[in-house]
Every structure is written in C-alpha cells, then in structure tokens.
Structure 1
C-alpha cells in the first residue's frame, strides 16, 4: 500500500490515500463505484447491474487499486491492472475484445494493461488522479513493466461529433503505430465534422497524453457503454519528464 496522502485542492479537509484493493469485499467496493459512475454517466449495459455492480471475467485476474477518502472511508477512485502473465491465463487482454492488436507479440518487455478507470464526480481533480497514479507507479516499478496500455473513452451520446473532433487533434499530435497498431473491431460511423469544431478532451485521455502516451489507431465503438474507446500505449522510457513525478518510483 502506498502511504502517500494528498489534500485535495481547495478542500483542505480531504485526505486521500492510495491503496491496493485486496480481497472480495474491497474488489466489490471498486465494482460498486464503477457501476455508479458508468451507469449514471453512460447509461452503460453492465454485467452485475442487478446487484449494483460492474463485474466481468477479467476482475479475478486483475490487480485492483484505488483512492480512499480517509475522513469518510469511501472509495472515490479505482482502476484495474492486468499484466501479460495473467492475460495468458485468461487467453487475451481486455483490449483485445475491442481491437485487433497487430504487433503485440513483438513488444520488447513486460506489459501492463490498465482499464475500468473511474473517479467519483465529486473528486475529479488533478490531485485525485495523482494519488491513483502513485499506486500505479508502485505496480509498474515492482513488475519492471516496459509498456502501459489500455483504452480511454470519449462519450458518443452526440452521435460521435465530439469523438471525431478529438480524433482530429489526436491524429495530428499523438498518433504512432510504429510499435503496435490497434484495429477497431467496430469502427465509428463516418461523420463530416467541421474543421473548426472544438471539443474538450476527457480528463483521463488528456492525462494519458500528458504522460507521453500515443494512440495506436482509430477508436472502437463500444455500444454497451456508448463511448468511443481510443487505444493508448505508453512506453515507459518515453514518459514525459514533466509528469514523471506522478510515477516517482517507476522511472
């Protein structure tokens, strides 16, 4: 467990701590938080919804980490991590349900996949993500992982206008298929979007880009969540120095 605690900006009473979520009860807390966030924001079709949970077959093979508010005891952020060894037992990475990952077998070094990241709406600040990143850094360091990969979502409730506008920027600045090419199993519908259309990049996707991650192709349409999932790949030795402090022990 990371002992880092952070006081949220402008909310001095908030003490946040990162931790590993070990055992069925702790994992269920993460699944409950995921359900609340994903069902409310995306009206997602979730396995386990009848019990107020978001759960799937990958959960049992993942390392779950989270951020807890020490004052209330509530879990306020979570993500899960699947490494290459666990993926071999499952038979695939979670991302492979949405993408054909060309070149995956040629990546040099251990791989860690991140997914199902969510933050309680009341705690969406850079501070909360920094605390979550601190625990991710511990896992990266312990496993000496060379690559971090996964998906970041863009809402599709507007039919895809926001997704296409954001993709125009990502293609220009952050596209790289040299190490891996992600081919979506369900591409987005073609849309004509004005070149001057401005769309705000979702916070998690923005955080990945600031760390130095690249997108590896076009997004996949996840119809259960009504989002466009963008596949990202972060090469550990290309981590942006400006943000390396969030991964203090992992670089």
Structure 2
C-alpha cells in the first residue's frame, strides 16, 4: 500500500472473506479520494454488504488490510471508526424515542458534549428538513423521514468518510432524489469521502468515481465516464450489464 493510499479516507488492500467454502470477497483493493462520491455498483450477492460489514468492523478478516483516515482498522479500531459515518440498509433507529432523543443518544455514544450535540442536532435537522418533527417519535415518521434522520445521525460528529449501504431501498421518488442530491452536496461542499453501495445505475452521476463488484471481485474501477469508455458502452447501464454478464459467463 503506497503513501497516498495510506492517507486516503478509506484504503482497502487485498481483502478477502468467505462464508464457509463460499468466497464473498476475493482480494479486493481500492482507495477513496476526499470530496468525492464513489459508487460501489454490483448486483445483489456481489459482496457489497460483506465489504461494508468488514469496513465497519462488524466482521473481521485476516486476509487483507483496511485503513480509515490512515488508521489500521485491526490495530487502531477506535481511531479508525471515529472518522466513519454510516447509513445501513436496514433501519437502526429506536422507534419509541423521539427524533431528537435518537440523535442525542448517538451523540453521547460518540463523545460529543451536550452543548456541541445540541448545536449539531439543530443544524442537521434543519439541513434534512425535519426541525418541526424533532419531538415526534420515530415510529410516527414516514420511511423517507426516518432515512433523513439516519443521514443526520451519520453526520453528527463530522466524519471524513460516509458509507451508505443501499440507502434508497423502499424510499419514495422524491426522498430518493433528495438523498442523491444531498450526498453529492456533502461530498463536494464539506469534503466528505462517500462510498455508496447500490445496484441502481440511475443513482450514479457521470463524474462520480466507480467500483464495480461482481462475485466478490473488482471488475472495473475509475471515473464513471472512463469505465463506460473502456467497456465501449453507450452508457453506464450498458457498461454495467457487460461487466457483470461477462463475469457470470465465466462461471457457467
């Protein structure tokens, strides 16, 4: 791993993982740049969620290395995870607490002072358009509103790296559009490195960075326009189909 990769918001080197005899990831390597959205594109079962489970420390692998903001996840777990914000595919809010209480609880876990937490929560709720719902129980919110709370929670302690695992699942069109726009704004204006796992090509913009994962292997990597060009495709949808179909045919 070179010096640039070691200082990257996220650097993954030679990472493998298996469930018994089934290999979910096979020597995956990449690094992210700050202030960029990187789409982790792959069909269901490609290994995206396994990769996220390893990067967030939920799983561990002795094969390969993960560094977050220069800190080795295995050796400096607390320091590495302190720079990480995440929005999981599955909902993880306490439904019986209010929006504000959910955020206050998380802020305490992350070590924010009461004064700083109050300031950040107010700013983030305004940012995601939920100031008026701050005292509502999460159970009363729509699915889109709950996702907005989770985005606010992920940003509470100003992470340098934001992970989103299929975050638009089940969202209405308007909230999905808001999420895509907001995440790109966060990257470009706040300098956050974003890794967005999805299987939906319409969530990816032309100037995003791209990692295509298929059957646990990285089959393409680079700026979206470059990947499309290199696969001699007309658009990302066609490029994605060619890349994943080619891998599928290799396993027939």
Report the TM-score when normalising by structure 1.
0.29
Computing the radius of gyration from Cα coordinates, the structure with the larger value is 2
Give the number of the structure whose residues are more often helix, by fraction. 2
Which gives a bigger RCO, structure 1 or 2 (Cα 8 Å, sep 6+)?
Answer: 2
